[in-house]
Each structure stands twice: as C-alpha cells, then as structure tokens.
Structure 1
Amino acid sequence: MKIGLTGGIASGKSTVADYLKELGATVLDADKIAHRLMEPQQKAWRKVVEYFGEEILLPNKQINRNKLGEIIFNNPSAKEKLDQLTHPIIIKEIKERLKELEEKKKIIIVEVPLLIEAGMIELFEEIWLVYLPKELQIERLMARNDFDYQTAVTRVESQMPLAEKRAFADLIINNNVTEKELKKELKQLWNKINLNN
C-alpha cells in the first residue's frame, strides 16, 4: 500500500512522518530526494541554474536557497517555472524509489509537501493530510523560523490552503492537539493499517 502524506508549511508533516518511522513505517521524504537532485551538477540543479542564472549559486556551487526563495516567493511566474523544471525530475525519482521498495515492503509512506499541487495523487492508494487551522499554522511558522507575522502569512498564503486540500484527502490527521494526543492517534492509525495489510 502506497500512502502519500502531505500538509502545508509548518503543519507538522515531518513530526508525523518521524513518529510513523519510530513505529516501524518505511517513509520516503520527497524533500530529501529533491535536495539531493538539487546538489551541484545533478539533473534538477542543472535545469534551475540554466534558467535562473549563476547568481543564485553560493561560492561552493550549491544553490543559495534563501536567494532562490526570495525570487520565487515574490514572483508567482518564477515559482511556476521552478516547479515546471524540477517536479518531473523529482516525481520520476520518487516513482523509481517506490518501485524498488514495493518489492520488499507492504506499506510505504511518502512525505510530499506539494503532493496535490504537483499532480501526484494517482501515485498513491491513500492521501493523508496533516491539518491544522491557518492561524495556528502561521503561529507555528513564526516560532519555528523566527519570522515576523507578515512573512509567515506570505509563506502560508503562497501555498494551496489546507482547507482546500481536505477535499483530496482520504484521511485527515488533526494536528491541532498536544504531541501526546497526536502520537496516540498515529499509533492507533498505524496499528489499524498494519492489521488491514
């Protein structure tokens, strides 16, 4: 069974993924795959540097994420272009990794922040959404990244709202709770899917 785990910035996806790992789940992290493909001279890196120019690079040829972030967060068409350049390469890699793992594992969870936006729904039998109210998402992002309120709002609003993502989800993981309550819910969920698979 292939499960796509998604959410929004500061919604708690990684917390959920880490705890599922502790419980014994096989978890693929799409962000880590993307970061690897954005390393110097990798496929996605070449496409991005070709388009955005070498001024987005640090002296060691790594992409300066802050600089690229500033460009795309203030320019929707640049963000769209970045997605067009990188998503096909990342999706291809995820498909290959899933194929390898399917032979060995019954349940595979893939943590993908932009699962819905990138059109990856058909890769999974179930979509799990980590959900919390927008104001709490903004608060958590401010605390996590030391952002001021306006910066946090801009980042949250640059993504598809979690309320809209609910329509695509087979299961909602409510993260408007304490860590203890969240862990309890995830343990019950993991036990249940293990029984059924």
Structure 2
Amino acid sequence: MDYELLKDRVAMIAARIQEIGGEVQEVVIGEPALLEKIIQTEEQLGLKLPESFRKVLLEFSGDFSLRWFLPDDMEQPNEFSGIFCGTPHWNLERFPQLEQGKMEWIDNVFPNDKDEYDVVWHNTLAFCEVPNGDYLAFDMNTGNDASIVYLSHDDGEGHGYKIANNFIELLENWSRVAFVGCEDWQWLPFTTSSESGINADGDAAKRFRTWIGLDI
C-alpha cells in the first residue's frame, strides 16, 4: 500500500471538512510499531495478527486516529442522512483491553456458538471500538489475512457484514469515502450486500464524494 497516498488522503479529508465548516477534532498518525511490541501483543492475545494488519503496523503506524464531524446545519442527501462523522482508529497498545471487552460481550450476552447471531462474535479479534458499543473486528475464521466483520450488540443492520477482505483493502476503500463513521448505518450506504464490503468505486461512493467535494 502507498502510505504517503494514505497520509495525503487523511490530510485532504481533514482540510475539506474544515472548508465546509465542520470540525476536525483529532488527526493522529503515530510511529510504526516495533516488531517486539507486535510479538508481545500476539503472545498476550494467544494468536498472530492478520498479515496485512501486521504489515500496516510495521510500515505505517501503530496508533492511528482521525475524528471529524460535519457541520450541524449541513443539508444532506437522503441516502447519506445517517453520516455525520468519521472516526477510524486503532492502537496496538489497547488490543488486550479491546479483546477483554469483546469477550465480556461473548461471555455475558452472546455465548452460544450454535446461534446464528451469537456465532458472528466468536473467533474474532476486535481492533476498533465503535462509539455505540459495537466493534470492527477481524474474522479469524478467514485465514492468515483475515477479513473485516462488523459486530453489533443490539441487532444492528450491519451485524456480520464483511466490510473488507483484509485490512489493507479496508484502508484503501474506507479512505475513499472519507473514513465515514464506524457505526454500521454510516458505511452501509456504500455496500450492496453482506459480502460486498465497502465499494469505493460504486455509484453511491461517487455521489458521496461529489456531494462532500472530495477527489480521492
């Protein structure tokens, strides 16, 4: 992946949000993670991190966050009425804490791996906590370079949706829709099915970029 291009996209998104009167609360692109720290985290978790995520941590950043919000009075097309912010983030240091929080949901609410809803939570690795209590997670059933799945705790429409085939694909496509918010209702407009992932070249994504004024 072209990380300089990714940095440019982050800067373009932040600049455009400010141009239209929105608020950019945070832009953090930390240093790449040390291999020793990744190995230590893997030992704590008892598993190996997915290949493309490991690559991004080592080559790009171990601590990333972008927080932007649209102006409150901005008129929105109906199809994008649920989009109000962008909050992508990950932090290698917080992985054990995230996993503990996810496991508490499994133990207390979704313990039945034979249940169609519950099983989506099982054998996953959370990497991003959604403000509403949901998670973006790696589906560890999908091999060494795990796909990204949405874990909803309250019957969200996006529960179990595959958002991307791997982490690098997620960054590529999510960044091209301005890293819209992690809540499922914010990225669902850019999917066509539970398996499609975010389609950054689809008609909805093109209309969104035109509406918000981004050429990425």
Q: Same fold (TM over 0.5)?
A: no
Q: 1 or 2 for the larger relative contact order (CA 8 Å, sep ≥6)?
A: 1
Higher strand share: 2
TM-score, structure 2 as length reference: 0.28
